[in-house]
Structure 1
Amino acid sequence: MDIRVTIDGRPVDATLNDSPPARDFAELLPLTLELEDFHQAEKVVDLSSGLSTSGGPEGAAPRAGDVGYYAPWGQLVLYYRDVPYADGIIILGRLADDRDIGQLATASKVTVDAVR
């Protein structure tokens, strides 16, 4: 599924994968989210409801540009730097253009919409 992540007013295309957690996330859209920085590598925000972890991996090693879900804390995660493998991370999708990744480092707010 194609989505648009608007980072501090600038639209960025992204794609969700076809997994149960990604489909659950798509059902929550549209969302406007206030972001917090975590370890100078990712932006996180608590989701109002948890996503399915059915069929998801035990963990992942996200790359910059990945959109993920940290299941233990119920957080959406936007990665702007590569992160080592950690249990509980499920990759939901990816930003379409690597040139947009740098915007995440200073982002404080995003809007996520489905592209129809």
Structure 2
Amino acid sequence: MIRAATTHLLAATLALALTHRAEAAGETTAPPRPTGQIMKLRLTINGKAASATLQDNPTTRDFVALLPLSFTMKDLFGREKFAHLPRALTEGGERRRDYAIGDVIYWSPGPDVAIYYRHDGTPIPSPGVIVLGRIDGSVAALEVPGSVEVTIAAE
């Protein structure tokens, strides 16, 4: 019992020292989010609020590091809205050649983020997409002709 208490005290002291050292060096980055934790997004699509639940994979965690983002998402094939990202993401998620309505995906050749609002039965060309997450509820705000203004932030 004394050994366990000593171990916990040493771990806490080390964490405090590292935090103090980082603050003294001017570092203000938050500690990494533990894996397995549910991550959520807040989206504003043409002024309408939506949310999404994210998958836990390296690509998604890299995407969250870019947030918040605001951009014009263009329509593609009458099934998805997409926008270019400021940089390529880590490609650590599972690649897929299919999708579901509401999927929020990463298309690495862009590099783009896209949200599917209609399914036309066409498979995704190679190299496929990495699913970042899924819209919670309706995708009606995306079912409009042309482009939409979108803001995405971590919840």
TM-score, normalization by structure 2: 0.68
> In structure 2, what is the equivalent of residue 10 of structure 1?
48
Q: Deviations over 1:51-105 (max 9, x none)?
A: 1112x233231111110011122100011012533232111000111xx212112
Structure 1 residues 91 and 25, CA gap change in structure 2 (3 angstroms): same
**Structure 2: 5+ residue stretches without partners:** 1-38
TM-score, normalization by structure 1: 0.89
Name the Cα RMSD after superposition: 1.4
Asked which structure has the greater RCO (Cα within 8 Å, sep 6+), the reply is 1
> In structure 1, what is the equivalent of residue 132 of structure 2?
92
Q: Deviations over 1:5-63 (max 9, x none)?
A: 11111110111110111101100111111111000000010000111112x23323111
> In structure 1, what is the equivalent of residue 63 of structure 2?
25
Tell me the distance in 2 between the aligned counterparts of 1:25 and 1:35: 16
Give the percent of matched residue pairs that are identical in Structure 1 and Structure 2. 36
Alignment of 1:1-116 (within 5 A): 1-54=39-92, 56-82=93-119, 84-86=122-124, 87=126, 88-97=128-137, 100-106=138-144, 108-115=148-155
Tell me the distance in 2 between the aligned counterparts of 1:11 and 1:38: 22
Name the structure where strand makes up a greater proportion of residues. 1
Q: After alignment, is 64-73 or 76-85 more displaced? A: 76-85
2:60 partner amino acid? A
Q: Larger C-alpha radius of gyration, 1 or 2?
A: 2
User: Runs of 4 or more off by more than 6 Å in structure 1?
Assistant: none
**Structure 1: 5+ residue stretches without partners:** none
